[in-house]
Amino acid sequence: MNMNTKLRKNVKVSYVYNFMMQMDITSAIWVLYLAYRGMSLVEIGIIESIYHMTSLLFELPTGAIADIYGKKFSVVLGRVLSIVSCVLMIVSTNFWGFALAFVLTAAGNNLNSGAAEALIYDSLKALGEESKYKIIWGKLLAAMSIAQGIAVLLGGVLADKRFLYAYILGGVLQLITLLSALGFYEVPIARKIDNRREGNAVVQQLRTAVKVLRGRKFVLYIILFSALMSSLQTTVFFYSQKYFSDMNYTKTVIAVICALGSLVEAFCSKYAYVFEEKMGMRKNLIFIASLNILALWGLGALRNLAVVFFIFTEITGGIACTIFSDYVNSKIPSENRATILSFDSLCFSMFMICIFPLFGFMADKIGFSSTFGFIGFAYVPVVLFIMTKLNKINRTA
């Protein structure tokens, strides 16, 4: 098998790997599961915060590990940790057991984030076909959203029978994901880092990535904007499970709503490049931010239309993931790609550490409707700050 064939195989394997990665049938039920196991909303918020604090600590180092020791190595190790985490979720009986499971999940996702995406972009770049990335990544995200839709629907149905069934099947699916990851081919990258002193290799990689971001402020603020919007969408996605449950929706109905949202997101991911070409960067940023904040206000004020506003966040999620990924990847060097892409996840974790437990605390105290509205208003000044910075950079570029 020649080099070009191996590189093209990476794209094909990525469809299988990323599809299976998103077949996380517990993603739409874990809040309900932890509540069922006796965790309060505050404890659930703290557990999610622990997840993101773990991401905060390990995101950049795991990105550097992927750049130094190989993206394939990184994604394979990540799937092993995810399998262990799934087992812990089944056998744990208290807060600390669930917290450890979330730590391992975060570490597994850290090892995957940046690395899996970088494998695709670097494969296309080595083939001289990086211009196809936006379309291919959009199709991949569409496949991932469809997988997520199937997963949440299946998870909801199984949870209505018994939560244990969902987590057992989740472990089996993670094992299949691990097997698919073994099919990746490591893309050869010319490295500027001195790997003779491996003890300092990660530190050197992180320093280089910081220098790259300092010289590319556009990338830095796009990453911040992307992380902010992702944190908003994630908060809505997870807490809406409990919100809909309090509205007396069954787990199956909640799963159907989440599955519908994933299908909408899949469509928007696939055709995000059309939005980008027709609207341009600035209009896309305004559209994504406005619709997301409107969704929070709508969830708070118009309870009867909660499902519609939930779908709004899925629309923006599909568009944002594709175009932001293309914006960032096109502006960064391959030898630092996984590290810098991991910085995106780190920023996301920083937002989530602040927002998720705060949301849980407020929802316990003042209810979901008021909390959705308050968080929506809180996002406005942060969005305006980042948009102002991006406009300033564009004017001086």
User: Where residue 272 falls among pLDDT bands split at 50, 70, 90?
Assistant: confident
User: Where residue 99 falls among pLDDT bands split at 50, 70, 90?
Assistant: very high
Distance, in Å, from the CA atom of 13 to the CA atom of 119, rounded to the nearest integer, reads 10
Angle, alpha carbons 78-82-6 (nearest 5°): 40
Provide the mean pLDDT of the chain: 77
Distance, in Å, from the CA atom of 8 to the CA atom of 2, rounded to the nearest integer, reads 10
Distance, in Å, from the CA atom of 267 to the CA atom of 138, rounded to the nearest integer, reads 9
Instruction: Give the pLDDT confidence of 301-320 residue by residue, as tens digits.
Output: 787 888 888 888 788 777 77
- Average pLDDT in the 319-328 region? 73
In this model, does residue 4 exceed pLDDT 50?
Answer: yes
In contact, 220 and 341? CB cutoff 8 Å: no
Instruction: Determine whether 150 is exposed, middle or buried from the number of CB atoms within 10 Å of its CB (0-12, 13-18, 19+).
Output: middle
What does the pLDDT read at residue 189? 62
Task: List, as own/partner pairs, every contact residues 33-40 make where C-beta atoms lie below 8 angstroms and the sequence separation is at least 24, other chains included.
Answer: 33/89, 33/159, 33/163, 33/166, 33/167, 34/98, 35/242, 36/163, 37/93, 37/98, 39/95, 39/98, 40/364
Angle, alpha carbons 355-63-220 (nearest 5°): 60
What does the pLDDT read at residue 100? 93
Q: What is the DSSP-derived secondary structure letter of residue 364?
A: H
Instruction: Give the pLDDT confidence of 114-141 residue by residue, as tens digits.
Output: 677 777 777 887 777 777 777 777 777 7
What does the pLDDT read at residue 101? 92
Instruction: Give the pLDDT confidence of 195-230 residue by residue, as tens digits.
Output: 444 445 556 656 666 666 676 777 778 788 888 778
What does the pLDDT read at residue 280? 66
**CATH superfamily assigned to domain 3-184+204-396:** MFS general substrate transporter like domains (1.20.1250.20)
Express as a percent the part of the chain with pLDDT over 90. Answer: 4
User: Where residue 98 falls among pLDDT bands split at 50, 70, 90?
Assistant: very high
Instruction: Determine whether 93 is exposed, middle or buried from the number of CB atoms within 10 Å of its CB (0-12, 13-18, 19+).
Output: exposed
What does the pLDDT read at residue 56? 73
What does the pLDDT read at residue 394? 63
Distance, in Å, from the CA atom of 274 to the CA atom of 315, rounded to the nearest integer, reads 14
Residue with tokens 């206000």: 297
In this model, does residue 337 exceed pLDDT 70?
Answer: no
